[in-house]
Amino acid sequence: MRTRDTSIFTKLDGEKKYKWNVTFQSASAVKYATASPDFTFLIKGPQLPMPKLTIGDTQALSSLSWTESLGAQSYSLVIRRRAIDETEWTVFKQEKMKTLFWEFGLLTPGAYRFEVTAESDVRSSSDTDTREIMIKPTKQQVLDNLRAIKK
């Protein structure tokens, strides 16, 4: 596009990368031209739908899954843990996932916060779905801890 105007307004579609360059040329008998470097920018599309976490039986929890967010390229999974006698959450796991699930062994007693966010290079990230659960110690774990304290 060539113009003598110093400003241009145009509508650009989302979910696309654009390249922008400005070249200045003389309008008089003295000929010269100068060009700026190329600038690349991305206009992100609409926000991705939020994936919904699915959590089964918390005492025998060994996997976590979530619904698909159409248009997502990956999912950010953050699991925070807090021991029963603690007040601060610590990051237990943080990973970018391509799948709709995470499998693991049985979790130790404590509070857990699961957070999943859909992500894409060309769309805005979804809101984060968050679920908190408490895994209580089994009767045997309580007895073992009491025995250890008595020693």
Distance CA 36, CA 20 (A): 9
Q: For the whole model, what pTM was predicted? A: 0.70
Q: Is the pLDDT of residue 124 over 80?
A: yes
Q: Is the pLDDT of residue 110 over 90?
A: no
pLDDT tens for 28-43 read 766 666 767 888 877 7
CA distances to 17, 39, 121 from 20, rounded to whole Å, are 10, 5, 19
pLDDT tens for 2-11 read 667 777 777 7
The 8-class DSSP code of residue 123 comes to B
Distance CA 35, CA 47 (A): 35
pLDDT tens for 34-71 read 767 888 877 788 899 999 998 877 666 788 899 999 99
